[in-house]
Amino acid sequence: MTSTVPALGTRTAEGSALQAVLLDMDGTLVDTEGFWWDVETEVFASLGHTLDDSWRHVVVGGPMTRSAGFLIEATGADITLAELSVLLNDGFEERIGRDLPLMPGAARLLAELSAHDVPTALVSASHRRIIDRVLKSLGPEHFALTVAGDEVPRTKPHPDPYLAAAAGLGADPARCAVVEDTATGVAAAEAAGCHVVAVPSVAPITPAARRTVVTSLEEVDLTLLRGLMTQMR
């Protein structure tokens, strides 16, 4: 877990204000969910296996240990989880080195949060080496804290990454707004007690209590995120 600037408090006397915004990375801020699947497909092809496209919904949004483990078991590939993780991270890092498109609305949202001094964290299931590469495009100055999937005891769908981010920012999880694109990430944020805005990327996500679903990150702004705090637990 890496902190880049001191955390800023925004708690009010009533305890009802937005205290922090916690943002997922792949598929939420950067258009890379398809990159992961492409790399997985290429790596397994080199091992002599063809991935079933229906598996994409199984592996999206989860930690590499889960997605890679599933693909090894599903294909019967003769490779260890550690070996496969290296190949996937290498392939992904090479891919984003060629092209790293931001999701529509990402740059505008990050600029708005920074302009209003809203404590913001990047919370990803990706490994630290990947996050640090992506940060060069997103702008590290926009984040007070970054949490990588290989830096917490349990990553998404467990609440640990979002609890760590909230604690690192000195925020109450119940006063944090999370923006996620997958059911796995939404589950992690909700288990941590956060309010969630879901922007589905690969698979649909249904609205629920403390969960707002929108069709694009362009619909997400500070007014919407602050408004989430009026919702009851």
Q: In this predicted model, which residue has the larger pLDDT, 185 or 63? A: 185
Q: Is the pLDDT of residue 224 over 50?
A: yes
pLDDT tens, position by position, 77-120? 999 999 999 999 899 888 888 878 999 999 999 999 999 999 99
**Residue 172 token pair:** 């109450």
pLDDT given for residue 62 in this prediction? 67
pLDDT given for residue 7 in this prediction? 41
| CA–CA distance, 164 with 17 (Å, rounded to integer) | 20
pLDDT given for residue 9 in this prediction? 44
| CA–CA distance, 110 with 37 (Å, rounded to integer) | 26
Interior angle at CA 189, CA 51 and CA 157, nearest 5:
35
Residue 196 — pLDDT band, cuts 50, 70, 90?
A: very high
pLDDT given for residue 10 in this prediction? 42
pLDDT tens, position by position, 8-47? 444 433 446 999 999 999 999 998 878 888 999 999 999 9
Helices (H), the chain: 33-46, 56-59, 64-75, 81-98, 106-115, 128-138, 160-168, 183-191, 222-227
Residue 57 — pLDDT band, cuts 50, 70, 90?
A: confident
Residue 182 — pLDDT band, cuts 50, 70, 90?
A: very high
**Residue 180 token pair:** 């996620």
